[in-house]
Structure 1
C-alpha cells in the first residue's frame, strides 16, 4: 500500500512542478538548462526583478477583485491553496514517524513552496511572491486538517494502518 501511495505522490509532484514551474507546459530538462544558461549570462537581472515581498499584498488585492468577478485573481488565490491540499493529505500517510505531524507538514509545505518561489526567481521563469508561500503553506495545512478529520472519522484508518 505504501508503494501505491508513493507512486501517487510522485505523480502529484510531477503535476505540481509542471503547473507551478512550467506553467502547464511539458516538463523539459533542456529548457531548464537553457534557462540556467540565460540566468548565468545575465545574473544581475535576478536582483532587479519585480515581485511581491509584502505579505498579504496580493491576497488582499485578489480578495478585493473577487467582488468584481476577476477570474484570474480568484484562480490565483484558490489555485495556490488547492494545489497544496493533496500534499498535506499524502505526506502524513507517507511518514513512518507519526510524531509532530502537523509541524512536519507545515515545514515541508513551506520548504517546497519556498523552493518553487526561489527557483522561479533564480531561473527567471516566474516572479517571487510571498503570498504564494502563505497560500501554498495554508493549503498544506488544510490538507493535513482533512487528513486528521478523515483519520478521526475512520476513513483513513485502514489506509494509515496499512502504510
Structure 2
C-alpha cells in the first residue's frame, strides 16, 4: 500500500472517531444521549466556568482532539498555503458544532471552535517541524506514528466496550 492511500485510510478512521467522540459522546446511538441545545457566542465564558471556577480541561481536550486533523491535512495537501490548511479545520469544527445544535445533542460553543482551531494549528506546526527534521521520510514517519496511534485507539475503544458490556 502506498503512503498516500495509507494516509487517506487513517484520516477516514480519525474522522469517524472524531464524529463519534464529538457528536455521539462515545455512545452508539443518538437515543442514548441527553437532548439539549444551546449556543454560547461569548468566547471563554460559560464553558470554562464551572461552579464559579475556571475549568480549562474541556479547552485542552478540544485542542488535543484536533491536533491530528492539522497533521493529516498537511500530509494530504503538503503544498497548500498555511491559510488553505486552516480553512478545513475551521469548517469541520463549525460543522460539528452546528450539528450538535441541529441534532439537539449539545451546545454550539465558540470556545470549542476556538479550541478545535488551535489544536489544528498545533497539528500544522507539528507537521512543519517533522517535515523539516525528516524531509523525504516525514510522510513515512508520520504514517507509522498515525498507524500505531490508530491501533492503540481501536484497542482502547475495545477495552472500553468490554468494560461497559
For 2:100 and 2:22, how far apart are their aligned partners in 1? 9
Q: Which residue of 1 aligns with 2:162?
A: none
Note the C-alpha offset of 1:90.
Answer: 1.0
User: How many residue pairs end up in the alignment?
Assistant: 137
Does the Cα contact within 8 Å between 2:20 and 2:27 map onto a contact in 1?
Answer: yes
For 1:5 and 1:50, how far apart are their aligned partners in 2? 36
5+ residue gaps, structure 1, are 40-45, 67-72
Question: In the alignment, is residue 50 of structure 1 matched against residue 38 of structure 2?
Answer: yes
After TM superposition, the score normalised by the length of structure 1 is 0.73
Instruction: Identify the match of residue 81 of structure 1 among 63, 77, 80.
Output: 63
Note the C-alpha offset of 1:125.
Answer: 1.1
Q: Where does structure 1 differ by over 3 angstroms across 4 or more consecutive aligned residues?
A: 58-62
CA deviations on 1:136-161 (whole Å, 9 max, x unpaired) are 0010000000100111111x631448
Q: Which residue of 2 aligns with 1:16?
A: 18
- Structure number having the greater strand percentage: 2
Q: Which residue of 2 aligns with 1:70?
A: none
5+ residue gaps, structure 2, are 144-165
For 1:58 and 1:83, how far apart are their aligned partners in 2? 21
Give the RMSD, CA atoms, in angstroms. Answer: 2.9
Mark the CA change 1:74 to 1:60 in structure 2 (over 3 Å): closer, same or farther: closer
For 1:149 and 1:23, how far apart are their aligned partners in 2? 32
Q: SS of the counterpart of 2:49?
A: helix
Q: Which residue of 2 aligns with 1:69?
A: none
After TM superposition, the score normalised by the length of structure 2 is 0.72
